[in-house]
Amino acid sequence: MKVSTKGRYAIRLMIDIGIQSNGYVRLKDVARRQEISIKYLEQIVGLLQKAGLLLSSRGAHGGYRLSKDPYDYNMGEILKATEGSLSPVSCLEDEVNNCLRYNICSTIKFWQGLNDVINEYLDNHTLGELMEIEKNLKEKNIDYSI
């Protein structure tokens, strides 16, 4: 029941890019600030871009930027783009429903319920909210250091 590094790093990357809100943000800078290998970030960012969550620009002064307002991203879409399906059991995935016991399964409703509460939570939290927290955290740290 763990979210992999891909999903967790994706969220930190999105927050980081969102906060540097002027123009395109270089992956190199994200990697430095977040202490994540740039090569690994490249893979993660590729997934986010394919899902339309980020826009890219190649070459000098290139980088990545958000494709929409931070409050228009919900955390579910970011995680789904990087983690794939978030359902707790594979029987709930529409594409491949290969369980022979599906019709005689007394637990499917239970798992569906779990899936629902997870998705409801993730869909009701936005990137904008997390960016706010990050901003507040940064301000606090500056205050303490004075």
Partner DNA sequence: TGATTTCCTAGTAAACCCATAGTATAATCA
Partner DNA sequence: TGATTATACTATGGGTTTACTAGGAAATCA
Closest separation between CB of residue 124 and its own copies, Å? 10
Closest separation between CB of residue 39 and its own copies, Å? 20
Closest separation between CB of residue 60 and its own copies, Å? 31
Q: In angstroms, how far is CA 14 from the centroid of its own chain?
A: 7
Distance CA 68, CA 21 (A): 12
Dihedral over alpha carbons 97, 103, 106, 110 (to 10 degrees): 40
The yes or no reply on residue 56 touching its own copies (CB under 8 A) is no
Distance CA 65, CA 19 (A): 10
- Give just the sign of the alpha carbon dihedral 13, 18, 20, 22: positive
The yes or no reply on residue 29 touching its own copies (CB under 8 A) is no
The residues that touch its own copies, with contacts defined as CB under 8 A, are: 1-3, 8, 11-12, 15, 35, 75, 83, 85-90, 101, 104, 106-107, 109-111, 113-114, 117-118, 120-122, 125, 130, 133-134, 137, 141
